[in-house]
Structure 1
Amino acid sequence: MKPIENSTLPACKENFVQVGETSLYTKLYGKRNNNPAVIMDAGYGDYSKAWEPIIPDISKATQVLVYDRAGLGKSSKSTNPRTSIHMVGELKELLTKLDIEPPYILVGHSFGGVNVRIFAEHFPKDVAGMVLVDTTPEDYRERFLPTMSEEFKAAYDQQFIHEGNYDEFMESLNQLKGCNRKLEVPVMVLAAGKKAHYSKESQELWNAMQRELVDITTNGELVMAENSAHYIQNDAPDVVISAIKRLLDGL
C-alpha cells in the first residue's frame, strides 16, 4: 500500500550513513526536549515515507528518526541476510553513528514490529517504551494463516520480492520466538479492527493474537483501531500519535 503523501512535513536533516557495506538513508526531525527519541521501523517492503502522516505531531514533542532499511527507498542493498537479527544490528549501528543517545521509544508497524521487539530483547536498556502498530505475531504462519482463503495465502506468499524472501521472513519470526525476556517498559499494542479480506472469524482471531502481545511486558495495553485497516498510521493517525504521546507523557 502506498503511503499517504504529506506536503506539510517539518524540516529534517537527511543523511546517508555507512553501516557496514550499506548506505542507509535517514531523516531526523525535531529536538529531544528532554524526551526519548522516537525511532520508527516500517513494515515489510515499506520505507520512511510510511510514517509521514504522524511525523508532524510527534516531532513537535521530541526527536524522530525514520529510515529506509537496506535495499528499500534510497538505501543501498546489503549482502547480509534480510532477517530481523541483521536488521536490528544495522539499526543499532545506525543509531550509534548518528549519535542518538538511548533510551528510545520504538515504533514498529507490521514486520517492523518484529524488528523492534527483537531490538528490545537484545538491547533492553536502550528501550524506554514501544508502540506496536498492527504488528506480525511470531505464530502468524502456524496459527493465523491457515484460517485464510487459498487466494489470500497465494497472494501472501507472492509478496516476498521487495525485501528478502519468504524463508528469510519466516526466519525472522523464528528469531522472534526466541525472545523470552519479559519487558518492564510500557508497550502500546495497536490493532486494526477492519482488516481487508478478513472474515469475521479471522478478524476475531487477529484481535485475540494482538491482545496476547500485551503479555510481553509487565506494563502493556491494547488499543483497537476499530475502523482502520492494516495501515493505522494512514487510516487513523490520531490513534498512533496518541499512543506515542502517552508514552512520552508517562516517562
Structure 2
Amino acid sequence: MKLLKTALLTLLVSFAFAQEKMVKANGTNFHVFTKGLENRDPKKPVIIFENGMGVGLGNWDTVLDDLAKLAPVLAYDRAGVEKSDKIFQMPTVARTSGNLKAILEVLNIAPPYVIVGHSMGGLYARAFAGFYPDEIAGLVLIDPADFTETKEDWNNIFRKLSIPEKKIDEMLYNRLYKPQLPPTQVDSMYYGPWSEAQVLGALRRTDFAEVKALPLPDVPVYFFMAGKFEVPPELRSKDFDQEAFFQVRTLVNMERWRKFIYSSRKGGSLIYLSNSGHFIHRDDAKVVTANIRLLLESLVK
C-alpha cells in the first residue's frame, strides 16, 4: 500500500508540472505543452519542438516524457493547425519564427534553446535558429524539408536515372509551378496545412534563398535521416522508378548534409536509420532521445 501511495504521488507531481494550455501571443491563441520548467536551471537549455506540416504537438508523444527528464520541453501547434487559432495568413518562416518567439516571451522562457524540427518543422527550426542565433544552443533536424536542396540538385537525381530532359522539365513544372487552388477555394479547416505547403513550394522555387541567407549559429547540428522507403506500390509514380529515386536522393543528400553540419564550428552528427521511415521519432524514439541526450551532455563540457 505504501509503495502504491508513493507511485500515485509521483504520478500526480509529474502531471502537476506538465501543462497543456492555450497561450495568446501576437494576437493568436496557441495550443502549448510544457514540462519541466519548474526546476529549470536558467543556464541550461529548453528543448523546443517544431512539428511537421499540418501536424499537431501530439506527434511528439513518443519522446516528450523521456526528454523532459533531461531538460524542460515546449511543444506547440502552429497557427491554423490542430487546437491553435485558425488564421488566414501565410505561415512564412519569418512570421512563424516571430510567433514562436512571442510564445516564449509570454511564457517567460528565456534562452538558451535546443530546437528540434521534423519535416516542415525542420525548415522552421532552421529559420528560427537563423533569426535568433544568439539564443540557440543546438539544432536537431529530423528528416527535414531539405532547405539545402536546389532545383538543379533535384533535376540531377533524375538525370542519374536517365530520365529525358523534357520529362524532367515537365515534372519540375508540375512540382513547383503548376497552378494551385486559390485560398478562397480552400476549406478553412485545411488552410493551415495547405498554406504551409504553399510556403514550402515558394521557398523551393527560389532554392530556399531566404533561409540560406540567415546565419547558422555555431552550435551542434544533429541530423536524422530516414532510410526506409515507405511509398506503397499503388501510390508510386508512373513516370520513374520512385524507389530508385529515393536511394539516389538519399546518397546525394548525405553529402550536402555533411557539408551543412561542418558549416558550424561545433560540428554535430549525421544519423542514418535504415529501418526508420519519415517519422523517425515514432519509428525509433530511443535513438532520437539518446542522441539528444548526447547533444545536451556536450553542452556542459
TM over 0.5: yes
Tell me whether 1:142 sits opposite 2:151 in the alignment: yes
**Partner SS for 2:253:** helix
Please tell me whether the aligned partners of residues 26 and 68 of structure 1 are also in contact (alpha carbons under 8 angstroms). Answer: yes
Aligned to 1:191: 225
Please tell me whether the aligned partners of residues 193 and 207 of structure 1 are also in contact (alpha carbons under 8 angstroms). Answer: no
Aligned to 1:61: 70
**Aligned positions, number:** 240
Q: CA deviation at 1:145?
A: 4.3
Q: CA deviation at 1:236?
A: 1.1
Long gaps (5+) in structure 2: 1-10, 181-189, 232-242
Aligned to 1:217: 264
**Partner SS for 1:185:** coil
Structure (1 or 2) with the greater helix fraction = 2
**TM-score (norm: length of structure 1):** 0.84
Distance in 2, matches of 1:141 and 1:45, equals 24
Once the two structures are superposed, what CA deviation does each residue of 1:131-161 show, in whole Å capped at 9, x if it has no partner?
Answer: 11111222446145444699x9879999x96
Q: CA deviation at 1:165?
A: 5.3
Tell me whether 1:169 sits opposite 2:200 in the alignment: yes
Distance in 2, matches of 1:44 and 1:174, equals 20
**TM-score (norm: length of structure 2):** 0.71
AA of the residue aligned to 1:170 = G
Q: CA deviation at 1:216?
A: 3.5
Select 2:249's aligned residue among 195, 202, 221.
202
Select 2:277's aligned residue among 226, 229, 245.
229
After superposition, the CA RMSD in angstroms is 2.7
Distance in 1, matches of 2:84 and 2:274, equals 34
Larger radius of gyration: 2
Q: CA deviation at 1:229?
A: 1.1
Long gaps (5+) in structure 1: 1-7
Please tell me whether the aligned partners of residues 123 and 145 of structure 2 are also in contact (alpha carbons under 8 angstroms). Answer: yes
State the percentage of identical aligned residues.
28
Residues 1:219 and 1:195: Cα distance change in structure 2 (over 3 Å): farther
Distance in 2, matches of 1:104 and 1:166, equals 26
Please tell me whether the aligned partners of residues 53 and 196 of structure 2 are also in contact (alpha carbons under 8 angstroms). Answer: no
Distance in 1, matches of 2:52 and 2:153, equals 18
Greater alpha carbon shift after TM alignment, 98-107 vs 30-39? 30-39
5 Å matches for 1:74-153?
74-140=83-149, 142-143=151-152, 145-146=154-155, 147=157
Residues 1:78 and 1:109: Cα distance change in structure 2 (over 3 Å): same
